[in-house]
Amino acid sequence: MAQVEKRGGLLRKSSASKKPLKEKVVLMYDEIFMTEDPSKCSPRFWEELFLMKVNLEYLEGKLESLDGEELMKIKDNINCLFQHCIQALGEEHPIRVVNALQTLCALIRGVHQKNKSTSGFDIINMLMGFDKAELCMKNLMESLDSLLCAEGSESLKSLCLKLLLCLVTVTDNISQNTILEYVMINSIFEAILQILSHPPSRREHGYDAVVLLALLVNYRKYESVNPYIVKLSIVDDEATLNGMGLVITQALSEYNRQYKDKEEEHQSGFFSALTNMVGSMFIADAPEKISVQTNEAILLALYEAVHLNRNFITVLAQSHPEMGLVTTPVSPAPAAPVTPLGTTPPSSDVISSVELSLDADVQTSNLLITFLKYSSIVMQDTKDEHRLHSGKLCLIILTCIAEDQYANAFLHDDNMNFRVNLHRMPMRHRKKAADKNLPCRPLVCAVLDLMVEFIVTHMMKEFPMDLYVRCVQVVHKLLCYQKKCRVRLHYTWRELWSALINLLKFLMSNETVLLAKHNIFTLALMIVNLFNMFITYGDTFLPTPSSYDELYYEIIRMHQSFDNLHSMVLRLSTNAGQWKEAASKVTHALVNIRAIINHFNPKIESYAAVNHISQLSEEQVLEVVRANYDTLTLKLQDGLDQYERYSEQHKEAAFFKELVRSISTNVRRNLAFHTLSQEALLKEFSTIS
């Protein structure tokens, strides 16, 4: 018997003598693409169509193959198909509902694809007709809402979310997607919340629901009142917020796990073994980068939750009892994600032991710890555009956290101590820190460690000025809270001071190159004012008097760097160039640092001469410092503990528009044909009553 092959809707015998046979559904599609109403000759046409297995590829391809004029000729049939799809969503037979949902996906994508090449028709008119659009979309959204909220099939819910993601992401710029106006009017917000608050639904659909919500929140967010923004900002249901937090935690944990696996694989490889054996002579070049695709979609969801909803801040510090517990996935098991940026969540059994396996010594974890680990990975390499966007978004999220009073309260809480194993960039001049030697400390220490790590590791030709500014701002905001609430944090402040001074040295040594691209004086001023903050208010928040002494020791020890900075800004502020004003601000800010250097240096030199010591020890310098505080005169500087609060609309609108465009493209790309496969669905609905 001759073999039968199936390709593009054709059933073809292997014998070349016979004409290929078309599937019945393809023949029915061809009838729709005629100008005649297909139900004229066959009254049961639409009823039969939704019993046929959908051929997505053929339907989309057919729509794309027609030019605008040809498509307009069959507009009535397209409208009719769209309306019958919506009617079929109310059917009792799940097979009809499944086929209607998939047909809608193909219709929406096919018509939008066509619109990219020819703008001779309006998409809404083409799909449903202007006169019926409002009612069509109302019925569609109500049907999707009912299916998502019902206790029925998980596969149907999954397909509903896929359709909604398809609807939202058909255009790169979602704010230009006019169909979304109807999604704003006929809200599915409550359905999304229900998925997140209900554990079985959340495990199956939480990822898609969170990504969908993040995208909907970004529809015309600066031009009009977006109901999803308003509603998200006032959610106070604990189960819902925790559910959202858990979905984000799991997605970020999965990324962290993948990175850790690749890192271990890389370290145990042949090259690693060879270099360990031969020594360090081969490690002159930068180590090979470990690449795992970043997840901007889930990061955007975290940002929107933190930025819009004050109640979500409590979720950041909440440990998740489900983390580390073995859970059985609800049948049918969700498909594996295409990529981390896809729209399918990692299955619950994969996630089950992620967090505890990352840190055997950490007994509990939370969203903030997982986020800090994620940030420490993506912020290592900012040369890649996706990682640069991710790194920037991580710092924006940390900025929002650092400004929040409640977040600061738990960040600085002495009773909430954790070991946070941040990833550190391999560098030739430092040893890899042993994970097991990490102390238990308040979470703010991990945030400061992350900022110090970034400062130390990104002094390079392609200088990420914007990220450095944000990084220093985060440190400043944390210090403002410590000063205000008199929190004496036991932290190795010397590491921060040393990192900041080295950054100043880098700015000075690369002055010409950097000034061609950046106003380095903005950053220099922020660094100097951080030191001014420590000098002026350090006695209220540094842990011990000796810590304050160590601050003076570091300033005196590194006086040459501050002297060089003063010479540079003095030179530029006395010239009538473009940097005159910016440089003069740094000159004025250096007054107290220079006063400390000029006051203590002669006394240290005198002490050395009297005692016939060529080089003083740290303890001897500190002795001189303590003995001469009384005669030091400093100027009171205003506004050191003030800062401009974060504002998205005025400063970050362009960044978020570009980010959402990138996410939309990735989500659409990962809604590939196989993610809409019918196989699992047909198994679930194997009988039609």
In what order do the strands lie in the sheet containing 4-7? 4-7, 10-13, 21-22
592, HSE (Cβ side, Cα atoms, 13 Å): 19
Give domain status of residue 347, yes or no: no
CA dist., res. 154 & res. 193, Å (int): 16
Low-confidence ranges of the chain (pLDDT < 70): 1-21, 114-121, 269-291, 320-363, 427-436, 672-689
557, HSE (Cβ side, Cα atoms, 13 Å): 19
User: What letter represents residue 441's amino acid?
Assistant: R
Q: Which two tokens stand for residue 224?
A: 């009009």
525 and 399 both lie in a single domain: no
Other beta carbons less than 10 A from residue 409's beta carbon: 15
595 and 667 both lie in a single domain: no
Please return the burial class of 247, using the count of CB atoms within 10 Å of its CB with bins 0-12, 13-18 and 19+.
buried
476 and 506 both lie in a single domain: no
E-assigned strand segments in 404-502? 417-418, 441-442
Give, to the nearest 10 degrees, the angle between helix 465-485 and helix 385-403. Answer: 20
481 and 496 both lie in a single domain: no
Q: Which two tokens stand for residue 184?
A: 């704003």
Nearest to 676 by CA among 202, 114, 179, 155: 155
3-state secondary structure of 103: helix
- Residues 6 or more apart whose Cβ sits within 8 Å of residue 563: 597
Give domain status of residue 345, yes or no: no
Q: Radius of gyration (Cα) for the chain, nearest Å?
A: 31
Torsion angles phi and psi, residue 319, rounded to 5: -75, 145
For the chain, what's the residue count? Answer: 689
488, HSE (Cβ side, Cα atoms, 13 Å): 9
500 and 460 both lie in a single domain: no
Q: Which two tokens stand for residue 181?
A: 């106006």
Give domain status of residue 334, yes or no: no
Other beta carbons less than 10 A from residue 192's beta carbon: 27
Give domain status of residue 186, yes or no: no
Give domain status of residue 332, yes or no: no
Domain boundary, last residue among 486, 519, 553 = 486
Burial 649-678 (b: 16+ CB within 10 A, else e): eeeeeeebbebbbbbbebbbebbeeebbeb
- Residues 6 or more apart whose Cβ sits within 8 Å of residue 615: 608
CA dist., res. 173 & res. 220, Å (int): 10
In this structure, what is the dihedral angle of CA atoms 593, 450, 292, 265, given to the nearest 10 degrees?
Answer: 110
CA dist., res. 488 & res. 543, Å (int): 5
Q: What is the pLDDT of residue 385?
A: 81
CA dist., res. 530 & res. 555, Å (int): 12
Q: Which two tokens stand for residue 296?
A: 């901007």
Structural domains of the chain, count: 3
For 236-365, where are the alpha helices, taking DSSP H only? 238-267, 270-278, 296-308, 313-316, 348-351, 354-358
Q: How confident is the model over 501-528, as pLDDT tens digits?
A: 999 999 999 999 999 999 999 999 999 9
Nearest to 288 by CA among 313, 269, 308: 269
CA dist., res. 344 & res. 309, Å (int): 25
29 and 167 both lie in a single domain: yes
DSSP element (H, E) containing 10: strand 10-13
517 and 620 both lie in a single domain: yes
DSSP class of residue 60 equals H
Give domain status of residue 338, yes or no: no
Q: Which two tokens stand for residue 254?
A: 């999965």
8 Å CB contact between 367 and 245:
yes
- Residues 6 or more apart whose Cβ sits within 8 Å of residue 558: 501
Domain of residue 383 covers: 247-266+292-320+364-427+437-486
CA dist., res. 418 & res. 446, Å (int): 9
305 and 442 both lie in a single domain: yes
8 Å CB contact between 108 and 127:
yes
Q: Which residues pair with 5 in a beta bridge?
A: 12
Please return the burial class of 5, using the count of CB atoms within 10 Å of its CB with bins 0-12, 13-18 and 19+.
exposed
3-state secondary structure of 305: helix
Q: What is the pLDDT of residue 514?
A: 95
39 and 147 both lie in a single domain: yes
Predicted TM-score (pTM) of this structure: 0.88
Domain boundary, last residue among 463, 486, 509 = 486
CA dist., res. 168 & res. 162, Å (int): 10
441 and 563 both lie in a single domain: no
Q: What is the pLDDT of residue 676?
A: 54
In this structure, what is the dihedral angle of CA atoms 268, 271, 276, 279, given to the nearest 10 degrees?
Answer: -170
158, HSE (Cβ side, Cα atoms, 13 Å): 24
The set of long-range contacts for 128-135, using a CB threshold of 8 Å and a minimum separation of 24, is 128/79, 128/82, 128/83, 129/75, 129/79, 132/79, 132/83, 133/182, 134/182
CA dist., res. 575 & res. 561, Å (int): 22
Give domain status of residue 188, yes or no: no
461 and 404 both lie in a single domain: yes
Q: H helices then E strands: how many in the chain?
A: 35, 5
Burial 455-483 (b: 16+ CB within 10 A, else e): bbbbbeeebbebbbebbbbbbbbbbbbbb
Domain boundary, last residue among 450, 467, 486 = 486
Site of tokens 């966007």:
389
DSSP 268-295: TSHHHHHHHHH-GGGTTSPPPPP-----
Q: Which residues pair with 12 in a beta bridge?
A: 5
Q: What is the pLDDT of residue 234?
A: 96
Other beta carbons less than 10 A from residue 534's beta carbon: 25
594 and 465 both lie in a single domain: no
Q: What is the pLDDT of residue 137?
A: 95
Q: What is the pLDDT of residue 46?
A: 86
Q: What is the pLDDT of residue 547?
A: 95
50, HSE (Cβ side, Cα atoms, 13 Å): 28
Q: What is the pLDDT of residue 344?
A: 42
Q: Which two tokens stand for residue 337?
A: 């994600």
E-assigned strand segments in 267-391? none
Give domain status of residue 358, yes or no: no
Q: How confident is the model over 395-452, as pLDDT tens digits?
A: 999 999 999 999 999 999 999 899 999 998 876 665 665 555 778 999 999 999 999 9
CA dist., res. 552 & res. 529, Å (int): 15
612 sits in the region (left: phi over 0; alpha: psi -120 to 50; else beta) called: left
DSSP class of residue 366 equals B
